[in-house]
């Protein structure tokens, strides 16, 4: 789905799911405006605006990012929704299985996602796939079909929808509207784009990232550089680094070639002085 500005605002996720941006407030200029507590646009050059946004992200000045908000329409399996809702810094309105009948739509993973339990991560799958993927998928599908048939039969008896739905599995699809500000959305993406996040919710996070980087490209690039692709060290790790790091820096020109601004070079030197 595209709009008049040729933005791609919807992505298909998994087998029946999707993420669709239905509304938003603000963009990169809104972050700059909030940080400067000014009115109107164009008070500074694009390069100065970029530098300011990157400074805010780098130094964790988060409130200006809260001035931008996104509202998504999401269709997702219930087990993904239960993971998703752990992020409590959003407004949510979900499809009601008390008011409406649940859809005959259930998530079935791709065969290559049927993997053995990880030996390193107690809550995730490993790299090795199972040998009998087709048999497992067949059993899962049969269970889904049987439980939905029982659900339909219970509804036909006149049983209340809120009771009839109880035995439906977590693979059943639900929908919701999800509204969140950019600061908290970046926190969601930091956790859910991570390689150890469950595959299914990571698919949705990747779709959201593709959508919002069209609207806040400067902020998203700063998020990638300073949060998503950055590494944090503990005090003990810094003490260990003292034994390894040669503090003799290359010239500023070489650091600039690596993408560091004059301000970042100064900050980098200050960091090294503390090691």
Phi, psi (rounded to 5 degrees) for 90: -145, 165
Summarised one tens digit per residue, pLDDT across range 73-112 is 999 999 999 999 999 999 999 999 999 999 999 999 999 9
User: Do 121 and 186 fall within a single domain?
Assistant: no
Q: What pLDDT is stored for residue 250 in this prediction?
A: 81
Instruction: Quote the CA–CA distance of 120 and 142 in Å, as a whole number.
Output: 32
Single residue among 168, 184, 200 that ends a domain in this structure: 168
Looking at the structure, tell me whether residues 29 and 96 fall in a common domain: yes
The reported pLDDT for the residue numbered 237 is 81
Give me the pLDDT at residue 108, please.
Answer: 97
What one-character DSSP code corresponds to residue 250?
P
Residue 62 belongs to a domain with what CATH number?
Answer: 3.30.1360.170
| Residues 74, 181 within the same domain | yes
Tokens of 94: 């979900």
pLDDT at 37: 82
Are 46 and 128 found together in one domain? no
Residue 229 confidence (pLDDT): 94
**Catalytically annotated residue among 58, 86, 192, 232:** 192
| Partner residues linked to 94 by β-bridges | 176
CA–CA separation, 45 and 51 (whole Å): 10
DSSP label at residue 64? G
Find how far residue 164's CA is from the centre of its chain: 33
pLDDT for res 270 = 84
* Judgement on whether residues 87 and 183 belong to the same structural domain of the protein: yes
Q: Judge if 73 and 187 occupy the same domain.
A: yes
- pLDDT the model gives residue 107: 98
Domain total in the chain? 3
Task: For residues 206 and 270, state if they share a domain.
Answer: no
The reply to whether 96 and 175 lie within a common domain is yes
Main-chain phi, psi angles of 77, to 5 degrees: -65, 150
Q: Give residues with Cβ within 8 angstroms of 144, minimum separation 6.
A: 106, 108, 169, 171, 172
Decide which of 168, 189, 209 is a domain's last residue.
168
The whole-number pLDDT of residue 273 equals 78
Residue range of the domain that includes 122: 111-168
Report the pLDDT value the prediction gives residue 138, as an integer from 0 to 100. 97
Q: Number of C-alpha atoms within 13 angstroms, CB side, residue 112?
A: 1
pTM of the predicted model, to two decimals? Answer: 0.90
Pair of tokens at residue 37: 């507590």
For residues 262 and 126, state if they share a domain: no
Residues 63 and 196 in one domain: yes
Q: Which stretches in the chain have pLDDT values below 50?
A: 39
Residue that terminates a domain, selected from 168, 185, 215: 168
Q: For this structure, is 232 an active site residue?
A: no
Same domain, 253 and 135: no
Beta-strand ranges (E) seen in 59-192 are 69-77, 91-94, 115-117, 125-129, 173-181
| 213 within 8 A of 220, measured Cβ to Cβ | yes
Kindly state whether residues 70 and 175 are assigned to the same domain: yes
Among residues 154, 261, 214, which one has the least CA distance to residue 21?
A: 214
pLDDT for position 139? 97
* Contact present, 41 and 29 (Cβ < 8 Å): yes
């Amino acid at each position: 789905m595209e709009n008049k500005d040729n933005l791609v605002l919807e992505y298909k996720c998994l087998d029946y799911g999707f993420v669709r941006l239905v509304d938003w407030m603000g963009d990169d200029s809104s972050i700059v405006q909030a940080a400067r507590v000014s009115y109107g646009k164009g008070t500074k050059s694009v390069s100065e605006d970029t530098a300011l946004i990157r400074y805010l992200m780098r130094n964790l000045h988060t409130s200006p990012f809260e001035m931008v908000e996104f509202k998504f329409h999401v269709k997702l399996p219930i087990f993904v929704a239960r993971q998703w809702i752990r992020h409590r810094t959003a407004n949510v309105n979900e499809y009601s299985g008390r008011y409406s009948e649940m859809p005959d739509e259930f998530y079935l993973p791709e065969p290559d996602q049927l993997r053995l339990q990880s030996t390193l991560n107690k809550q995730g799958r490993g790299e090795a796939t199972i040998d009998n993927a087709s048999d497992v998928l067949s059993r899962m599908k049969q269970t889904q079909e049987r439980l939905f048939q029982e659900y339909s039969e219970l509804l036909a008896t006149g049983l209340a929808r809120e009771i009839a739905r109880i035995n439906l599995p977590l693979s059943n699809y639900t929908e919701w509207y999800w509204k969140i500000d950019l600061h908290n959305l970046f926190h969601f993406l930091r956790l859910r784009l991570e390689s150890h996040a469950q595959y299914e919710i990571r698919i949705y996070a990747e779709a959201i990232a593709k959508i919002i980087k069209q609207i806040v490209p400067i902020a998203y690039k700063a998020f990638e550089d300073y949060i998503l692709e950055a590494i944090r060290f503990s005090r003990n790790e810094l003490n260990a680094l003292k034994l390894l790091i040669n503090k003799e820096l290359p010239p500023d020109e070489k650091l600039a070639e690596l993408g560091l601004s004059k301000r970042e070079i100064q900050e980098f030197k200050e960091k090294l002085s503390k090691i």
